[in-house]
Structure 1
Amino acid sequence: MSSDYPCPCGRLGRSGRPLAFADCCGRYLDDFDNTPAPDAESLMRSRYSAFVLGRESYLRATWHASHRPDDVAPDEGTKWLGLEVRRHAVIDAEHAEVEFVARYRVAGRAVRIHERSRFVRENGRWYYVDGDLL
């Protein structure tokens, strides 16, 4: 993906325009070892971008080991349509929740995921733990 292309997560900058991939999720996906997502919302957005781009290694690395499934590969044939973050709640210094709606199309059928996700921070790095469908 071109670094100046709008980020798949749809985050807007101060101007109200979509941020470029390089200025948004790209820095986390492309430099995982040195650039951790600073908060649970940024991790959520970068994981959405990883699904869009088929970055299985990033999804695996950011899924907490206690809940990580054996297969984290994005489904082939899925066309991701958009992400809406509805709420980011900091529980304490090591725990947060993000409520989001992600839309995609698979085999011509529209699908909507509305989830409240739980995140934990360990050693300065945020991880997706699990979520409840709403």
Structure 2
Amino acid sequence: MTALVVCPCGRADAKKRPVAYANCCGRFVDHVDTTPAPDAEHLMRSRYTAFVLARADYLLATWHHNTQPASLDFDADAKWLGLEAREHKVTGDDTAEVEFVARYRIAGAAVRLHERSRFVREDGRWFYVDGDQR
């Protein structure tokens, strides 16, 4: 169990206060078998958080089996700086897209990952399928 106070995904409550990890992405990342993300945006945010925490177990469990890699490697030098969720669009009964920008620094260089990700829901669970980087 990870003891983070503020969720890395950056979600804020109605009063613009950061949401605690346990009340935000932690409920999905730490309980993947029993608490699936309710929609594609929550899944994208929780997957960002899993990248920050180097939680390959969660990332692989939420990656669609048709596009899932065999394993994941994390760069220990990466410092994640923040996430901006730009758009969550329902594209069908069981499909959605989320556009986001994730920022991190590696070896002193700033990196900006801008992606429109595609998600599918199967048996009540959302999965990341793939995405187009912009």
TM-score bracket relative to the smaller structure: over 0.9
Q: Distance in 1 between matches of 2:73 and 2:41?
A: 21
Q: Which runs of 5+ in 1 are unaligned?
A: none
Shift of 1:70: 2.1
Q: Distance in 1 between matches of 2:67 and 2:86?
A: 24
Q: Residue type of the partner of 1:2?
A: A
RMSD: 1.0
Q: Residue type of the partner of 1:124?
A: G
TM-score by length of 2: 0.96
Q: Which residue is equivalent to 2:23? A: 23
Q: Distance in 2 between matches of 1:39 and 1:30?
A: 17
Q: Which residue is equivalent to 2:97? A: 97
SS at match of 1:35: coil
Q: Residue type of the partner of 1:86?
A: R
Q: Which residue is equivalent to 1:2? A: 3
Shift of 1:107: 1.0
Between the aligned residues of both structures, percent identity stands at 62
Q: Which residue is equivalent to 2:85? A: 85
Q: Which residue is equivalent to 1:43? A: 43
Q: Distance in 2 between matches of 1:2 and 1:127?
A: 25
Aligned length: 133
Q: Which runs of 5+ in 2 are unaligned?
A: none
Q: Residue type of the partner of 2:118?
A: R
- Provide, for residues 86-129 of structure 1, a one-character-per-residue CA deviation record: whole Å limited to 9, x for no partner: 00001122100000000001111110000000000000000000
Q: Which residue is equivalent to 2:53? A: 53
TM-score by length of 1: 0.96
Shift of 1:19: 0.5
- Provide, for residues 10-58 of structure 1, a one-character-per-residue CA deviation record: whole Å limited to 9, x for no partner: 0111111110001100000111111000000000000000000110100
